């Protein structure tokens, strides 16, 4: 493959256009991935690029600087959850606001939990981005360990389970937040308190359950636990199971607002009044917390701030900073009508 144009110099866009028999603008559209070019034309341009050894300006700069001016936001969840859970929208807003004044572009990678981990790892190893933020990760197999050991700046949205190397992460104190929720239920006179917990392969699910269990042990009440997956459907299934097994509960801590909205519906269907019969506390203080009847008492986590910090730390790591200390933010109890 020749790396020179017809005049002996570096190949130009014009030379690619002449060889492919198209306009300069068409070559530019192909190079930039425009979908508005016919497949035959794309093939002709790509053949000309290969024959001449043409390197687009952005790629040429990346070869020199080893920078792509792109960062990845990796969400190992189904797209149906990513676009329905307010948590992800808040993280995305925080990340986007931080990147906006910079030259970095954001690449969203949605990789379902049961997806092809090796494909994700190949992409991140392939030099396509300068760094990555990993959000809502699950502790499965060894993919988190492999992500943490990539030769690429990485920041996790919570401490990655099963990883034995120091990594940068940003999260809230989930144990303390859950403790606050359960202690509040005790303070308003609830004595038979259950929980709809999150999945135990996620830091948030594990830590929020730990907070509940610590208070249960200290206060001396029997644990009543059912597990959801941080979705409304999962919360509905778990709440039904919990009240089938423990119909006498008078307090309920739910590990996410989306699951709490489902729990409120389940209680209504069962003729249980909230908060008279059962007081309910959620976790997140997302937009759905003010749309329920009654409005949801919940534990607020500063999601946009978390997203902003994830982006700030990643940019610092890309610039050469050696940051591996977990960063933990406080939560806050927001009291509304459900408790």
The domain that holds 147 is classified in CATH as 3.40.50.2300
- Supply 216's token pair: 């249960």
- Its pTM stands at 0.78
Q: Do 37 and 152 fall into the same domain?
A: no
- Supply 163's token pair: 């990883």
Cβ proximity of 160 and 206 under 8 Å:
no
pLDDT of amino acid 163? 83
* CA gap 252, 257 in Å, rounded: 12
Strand ranges, E, within 178-336: 193-197, 225-227, 251-254, 279-284, 297-300, 327-329, 332-334
Q: Do 206 and 231 fall into the same domain?
A: yes
Q: Do 207 and 248 fall into the same domain?
A: yes
Q: What share of the chain is helix, strand, coil (3-state, %, to 5)?
A: 45, 15, 40
The DSSP secondary-structure symbol of 51 reads: H
Q: Is the residue at 3 inside a domain?
A: no
Q: Do 105 and 167 fall into the same domain?
A: yes
What pairs with residue 333 in β-bridges? 299
Q: Do 274 and 191 fall into the same domain?
A: yes
How many CB atoms within 10 Å of residue 332?
13
Structural domains counted in the chain: 3
| Nearby residues of 159 by Cβ (< 8 Å), 6 or more positions away | 167, 169, 171, 203, 326
| Mean pLDDT, 10 residues at a time, the chain of 339 residues | 50 88 87 77 89 68 60 85 86 93 86 69 86 84 79 91 87 98 98 96 95 98 96 96 97 97 97 97 96 97 96 93 90 98
Q: Do 179 and 161 fall into the same domain?
A: no
* CA gap 168, 310 in Å, rounded: 9
Q: Is the residue at 19 inside a domain?
A: yes
Q: Is the residue at 336 inside a domain?
A: no
Q: Do 111 and 207 fall into the same domain?
A: no
pLDDT of amino acid 116? 65
Q: Is the residue at 323 inside a domain?
A: yes
Phi, psi for 128 (deg, rounded to 5): -80, -25
Show the domain range for 52. 13-65
Q: Is the residue at 45 inside a domain?
A: yes
* CA gap 136, 204 in Å, rounded: 9
- Angle, vertex CA 318, rays to CA 167 and CA 109, nearest 5: 75
Q: Do 315 and 234 fall into the same domain?
A: no
Q: Do 182 and 254 fall into the same domain?
A: yes
What pairs with residue 328 in β-bridges? 171
Q: Do 232 and 197 fall into the same domain?
A: yes
Q: Is the residue at 237 inside a domain?
A: yes
- Angle, vertex CA 117, rays to CA 114 and CA 119, nearest 5: 125
Q: Do 259 and 278 fall into the same domain?
A: yes
């Amino acid at each position: 493959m020749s790396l020179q144009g017809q005049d002996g110099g570096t190949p130009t866009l014009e030379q690619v256009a002449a060889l492919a028999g198209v306009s300069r603008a068409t070559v530019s559209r192909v190079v930039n991935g425009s979908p508005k070019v016919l497949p035959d034309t794309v093939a002709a341009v790509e053949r000309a690029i290969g024959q001449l050894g043409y390197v687009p300006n952005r790629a040429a700069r990346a070869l020199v600087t080893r920078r792509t001016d792109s960062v990845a936001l990796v969400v190992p969840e189904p797209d149906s959850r990513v676009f329905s859970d307010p948590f992800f929208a808040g993280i995305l807003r925080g990340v986007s606001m931080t990147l906006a004044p910079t030259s970095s572009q954001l690449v969203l990678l949605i990789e379902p939990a049961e997806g092809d981990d090796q494909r994700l790892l190949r992409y991140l190893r392939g030099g396509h981005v300068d760094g990555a933020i990993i959000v809502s990760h699950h502790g499965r197999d060894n993919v988190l360990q492999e992500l943490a050991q990539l030769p690429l700046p990485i920041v996790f949205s919570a401490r990655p389970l099963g990883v034995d190397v120091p990594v940068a992460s940003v999260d809230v104190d989930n144990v303390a937040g859950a403790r606050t929720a359960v202690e509040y239920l005790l303070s308003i006179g609830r004595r038979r308190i259950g929980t709809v917990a999150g999945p135990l392969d996620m830091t948030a699910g594990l830590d929020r359950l730990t907070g509940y269990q610590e208070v249960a042990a200290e206060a001396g009440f029997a644990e009543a636990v059912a597990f959801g997956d941080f979705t409304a459907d999962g919360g509905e299934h778990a709440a039904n199971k919990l009240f089938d097994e423990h119909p006498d509960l008078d307090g309920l801590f739910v590990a996410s607002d989306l699951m709490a909205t489902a729990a409120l519906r389940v209680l209504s269907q069962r003729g249980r009044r909230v908060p008279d019969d059962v007081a309910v506390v959620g976790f997140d203080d997302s937009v759905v917390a003010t749309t329920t009847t009654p409005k949801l008492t919940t534990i607020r986590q500063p999601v946009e701030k978390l997203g902003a910090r994830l982006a700030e730390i990643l940019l610092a790591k890309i610039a050469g900073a050696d940051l591996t200390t977990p960063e933990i933010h406080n939560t806050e109890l927001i009291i509304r009508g459900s408790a």
